[in-house]
């Protein structure tokens, strides 16, 4: 059992004053694997006060000291990588292999990348008679989700440290355990007191309070679009900076000269990775009518072989949904797809074969999905791929952009320049061409209802900076 009773504030672990606990459930076994304390608003105020005081000196800290902290953080994450991967798999249900690479490996690389960025980052420039200076924005509040718990935290914490900001973290209550390990690491490597503070509890209370607080200079939120709107409303009265990384319903488009077998093979993983619980998943597959039969055949074969089960099994590709609530939600979407007339190619409602417990769903594929259908429009956040066809490239682009979201996307073509030309017209924040790899140094974020602001790379660092102009 991973029972946590203390919060980390002002460089110290202190037992939470309240008695309420939040249970952490293993979604594969439905067993309780730990508890975390529910902090109260007085403890949040103390965290904000500590961060405000720490900002006075951390904002003026030497760049070399920040580089050392970030490199030490990356090294410590590497040392504890297996422990963290096992914990994230137990609280999220992510297959262990993917936990090692995406849940721990990527955050480690992100932390190291900000140390590298600081080596050459230009904090000042001269423009005619002005000195343009970049300064840390101040005290930041981070509200993070459960699907990539450590990665989403490091994507905020690392650039904040690099910028010279201080912070209060409120992690997801479904998957909070890796945040406590991060606090332990930051304490051990000597991050000055008050720079990082951890308070756990309910987002509806603590998240809203942080967002509205006048001593918070910036809120960075990752989660659902509805919750992001609530954060924006709460923050509006204090005119603080708000960055949002929200939902997605991303299009994966095969142009007419694409290889249909390759498209079919890659489409399942692009949709189903992390058991489909990925905001940037490519969940809408848009293909030429001429390749429908071949692509659907390959997709169906791949989906049937996509092993569901114990996430600690090295061969498992799809684990459970994070909670019973999420399982029910995904199954309801699958049923709605059937009810609204989409053609079920693979999967469907109900538990996968041979599984009797855990929050599992069947990886599912629909074809003949039209833009009026719910499963085309709404983010399902589970392993459900929807397929539609087009007659010409103009229609393909219209279908790709037919979404309130704009977070990610994919384009397939034997002609890379043709694919890039198509990608330039997609209203979305990040696009892979022929399966191009994720780049931690490139900006990540969305258009439209997928949010505002960017994370990762230099663009992620600049979100935490204010700009001052000094004329002379």
Residues annotated as catalytic (active site), given as ranges: 245, 279
Structure tokens at 386: 């929807």
Q: Are 144 and 222 in contact (CB under 8 A)?
A: yes
Q: Are 94 and 311 in contact (CB under 8 A)?
A: yes
Q: Are 25 and 32 in contact (CB under 8 A)?
A: yes
Instruction: Bin 204: left if φ > 0, else alpha if -120 < ψ < 50, else beta.
Output: alpha
CA 147 from chain center: how many Å?
7
Task: Give the list of residues 6+ apart from residue 270 with CB closer than 8 angstroms, or none.
Answer: 252, 281, 282, 410, 435
Q: Are 319 and 95 in contact (CB under 8 A)?
A: yes
Q: How far apart are CA 344 and CA 301, in angstroms?
A: 13
- CB burial of 324-354 (b: ≥16 within 10 Å; e: otherwise) equals eebbeebbebbeebbeeebeebbbbbebbee
Give the C-alpha distances (Å, rounded to integers) separating 5 from 33, 46, 80, 184, 207.
14, 17, 21, 14, 20
Q: Are 462 and 255 in contact (CB under 8 A)?
A: no
Pairing outcome for strands 364-367 and 343-346 = antiparallel
Residue 117, H or E segment: helix 106-120
Q: How far apart are CA 17 and CA 7, in angstroms?
A: 10
DSSP symbol at 363: -
CA 4 from chain center: how many Å?
24
**Of residues 243, 236, 182, the one with CA closest to residue 214:** 236
Give the C-alpha distances (Å, rounded to integers) separating 229 from 147, 232, 234, 250, 452.
19, 5, 9, 20, 11
Residue 108, H or E segment: helix 106-120
Task: Give the list of residues 6+ apart from residue 236 with CB closer than 8 angstroms, or none.
Answer: none
Helices within 276-380 (DSSP H only):
292-304, 324-339, 374-377
Q: How far apart are CA 169 and CA 159, in angstroms?
A: 14
Give the C-alpha distances (Å, rounded to integers) separating 191 from 3, 78, 138, 371.
24, 18, 17, 50
């Amino acid at each position: 059992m991973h029972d946590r009773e203390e919060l980390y504030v002002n460089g110290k672990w202190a037992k939470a004053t309240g008695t309420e606990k939040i249970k952490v459930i293993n979604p594969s076994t439905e067993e309780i694997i730990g508890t975390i304390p529910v902090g109260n608003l007085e403890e949040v105020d103390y965290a904000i006060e500590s961060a405000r005081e720490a900002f006075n000196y951390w904002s003026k800290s030497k760049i070399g000291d920040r580089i050392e902290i970030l490199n030490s953080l990356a090294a410590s994450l590497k040392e504890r990588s297996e422990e963290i991967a096992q914990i994230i798999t137990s609280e999220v249900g992510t297959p262990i292999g993917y936990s090692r690479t995406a849940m721990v490996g990527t955050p480690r690389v992100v932390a190291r990348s900000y140390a590298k960025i600081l080596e050459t980052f230009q904090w000042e420039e001269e423009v005619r008679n002005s000195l343009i200076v970049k300064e840390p924005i101040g005290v930041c509040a981070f509200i993070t989700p459960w699907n990539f718990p450590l990665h989403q935290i490091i994507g905020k914490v690392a650039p904040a440290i690099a910028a010279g900001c201080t912070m209060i973290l409120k992690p997801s209550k479904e998957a909070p355990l890796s945040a406590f390990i991060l606090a332990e690491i930051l304490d051990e490597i000597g991050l000055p007191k008050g720079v990082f503070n951890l308070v756990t509890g309910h987002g509806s209370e603590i998240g809203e309070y942080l967002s509205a607080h006048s001593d918070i200079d910036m809120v960075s939120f990752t989660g659902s679009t509805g919750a992001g709107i609530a954060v924006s409303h709460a923050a509006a009265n204090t005119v603080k900076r708000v960055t949002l990384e929200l939902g997605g319903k991303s299009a994966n488009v095969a142009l007419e000269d694409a290889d249909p077998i390759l498209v079919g093979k890659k489409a399942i993983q692009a949709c189903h990775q992390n058991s489909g619980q990925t905001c940037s998943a490519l969940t809408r597959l848009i293909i030429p009518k001429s390749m429908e039969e071949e692509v659907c055949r390959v997709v169906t074969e791949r989906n049937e072989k996509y092993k569901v089960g114990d996430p600690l099994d090295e061969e498992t590709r799809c684990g459970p949904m994070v909670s019973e609530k999420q399982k029910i939600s995904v199954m309801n979407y699958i049923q709605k797809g059937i009810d609204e007339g989409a053609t079920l190619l693979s999967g469907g409602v109900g538990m996968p074969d041979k599984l009797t417990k855990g929050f599992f769903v069947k990886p599912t594929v629909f074809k003949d999905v039209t833009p009026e259908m719910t499963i085309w429009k709404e983010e399902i956040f589970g392993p459900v791929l929807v397929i539609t066809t087009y007659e010409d490239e103009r229609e393909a682009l219209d279908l790709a952009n037919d979404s309130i979201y704009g977070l990610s996307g994919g384009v397939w073509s034997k002609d890379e320049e043709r694919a890039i030309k198509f990608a330039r017209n997609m209203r979305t924040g990040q696009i892979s061409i022929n399966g191009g790899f994720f780049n931690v140094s490139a900006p990540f974020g969305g258009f439209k209802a997928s949010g505002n602001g960017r994370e990762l790379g230099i663009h992620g660092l600049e979100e935490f900076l204010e700009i001052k102009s000094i004329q002379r």
